Amino acid sequence: MKITEHIAQAKGKTLFSFEIIPPQKGKNIQELYNNIDPLMEFKPPFIDVTTSREEYIYIDKGGLLDRKTTRMRPGTVGICAAIKHKYNVDTVPHVLCGGFTKEETEYLLVDCHYLGIENVMALRGDAMKHEQYFKSTNGGHTFATELVSQIQNLNAGKYLHDVIDVDDKADFCIGVAGYPEKHLEAPSLQTDLKRLKQKVDAGADYVVTQMFFDNKKYFEFVAAARKEGIMVPIIPGIKPIAVKRHLQLLPQVFKIDLPEELIKEVEKCKDNKAVRQVGVAYCIQQSKELLKAGVPVLHYYSMGKSDNIKAVAQGVF
Ligand code: FAD
């Protein structure tokens, strides 16, 4: 079922969902299941599965370093199919511009369609680890808007190069990213909102936000988006702080602010066990306020670990 249908069917009741990261290649999928199992009691209508950028690795060949390009966490679509099959839940693969040609994207979308995956998140992707800025892949897309258009073309039965007669169309529901504190490369929040509007005009059906820790930022973002004419559901993405290092890491990576009260509480903690408790308590309070405001879904970034997400869900749902 489409995410927009899940939201409509819930008739105003806030749904619970979460995002997981594929295991590193060579690791067993069981650990992923062990982290999903405890969250299924909260009946997520959908689970997102991230896609990681490819990266360079260097292999020592007798003193000479041989550079190879690899994806350390492959298998997003396979994992989506496995989870869908095992738990009978909708899964949402993250589809990236970066690292994929348009052809490869088409193959991936065709696979999704055959597997009965009805929702995809269309994202540009971050820069590769060694790059300062995102560089588009030869033959790939530069912005998520273009990817949304490609997916919408498929929905209309228009494949690349128009080479075939089509008698079976895809019907993907498309999610895109939104940034309550603006995307790190955007010159202003207003410009970023205009870009978001372009994604919606290209056919995006819903928005999931970057994590934020101050609900005011989300409420203001939704109000500004509505003023800009963005009328699709805007799902808040949130995450409990788990380690002290997050105080530096999250603002550095995502260019987001952390509220003073949260910083003070985390700084008081003697160890990361205490930080996890503070993170969970704060996230419960944040979630309850969002729930009261009637958000369609509370979407949690699990970062592969479910114990704190479970503790939050127990306190909220
Ligand atoms: P875009 O919408 O293309 O925007 C990127 C930047 O370009 C913005 O600054 C925007 O304002 C600007 N822009 C857009 N269009 C134009 C234009 N026509 N001209 C000039 N500027 C323009 N990353 C991953 O690698 N894997 C994941 O699985 C993943 N999942 C995510 C899930 C969510 C919910 C979110 C919020 C982010 C996720 N990301 C993921 C991170 C995301 O890929 C990065 O934030 C990336 O830098 C931007 O992606 P985007 O889709 O928002 O890009």
Beta pairing partners, 61: 64
**Structural domain for 116, as ranges:** 3-316
pLDDT at 168: 86
Pairing of strands 237-238, 206-209: unpaired
pLDDT at 163 over 80: no
With residue 70 as reference, give the H or E element that holds it. strand 64-70
Q: For the chain, what percent of residues have pLDDT higher than 70?
A: 100
For ligand 1, atom 11: residue with the closest CA: 192
Range 88-120 burial, b when 16+ CB lie within 10 A, else e: ebbbbbbbbbbbbebeebbebbeebbebebbbb
pLDDT tier for residue 297 given thresholds of 50, 70 and 90: very high
Assessment of whether the complete model's pTM goes beyond 0.85:
yes
pLDDT of residue 216: 98
The reported pLDDT for the residue numbered 63 is: 87
Say how many Å lie between the CA of residue 134 and the centre of ligand 1: 10
Asked if 155 contacts 186 with a C-beta cutoff of 8 angstroms, the reply is no
φ/ψ (deg, to 5) at 92: -125, 105
Provide residues with CB under 6 Å of ligand 1: 50-51, 53, 94, 96, 121, 123-126, 143-145, 177, 183, 185-186, 192, 195, 199, 208, 210, 237
Q: For the chain, what is the domain count?
A: 1
Q: What distances in angstroms separate CA 110 from CA 41, 45, 106, one per listed residue?
A: 32, 23, 6
CB 242 within 8 A of CB 279: yes
pLDDT band at 142 (very low <50, low <70, confident <90, very high): very high
Residue 212 vs residue 54, higher pLDDT: 212
164 pLDDT above the threshold of 80: no
CATH number (domain holding residue 136): 3.20.20.220
Q: How far is the CA of 177 from the centre of ligand 1 (A)?
A: 6
Q: Would you place residue 78 in the very low, low, confident or very high pLDDT band (cuts 50, 70, 90)?
A: very high
Long-range contacts of 104-107 (CB under 8 A, 24+ apart): 104/140, 105/140, 105/141, 105/147, 105/150, 106/150, 106/154, 106/159, 106/160
Which residue from 195, 200, 209, 301 has its CB within 8 A of the most atoms of ligand 1, so it is best to mutate?
Answer: 195
* 165 band by pLDDT with thresholds 50, 70 and 90: confident
Q: Say what the pLDDT of residue 303 is.
A: 83
Given a contact cutoff of 8 angstroms between Cβ atoms, the answer to whether 210 and 272 are in contact is: no
Ligand 1, residue 192: give the atom nearest the CA. 11
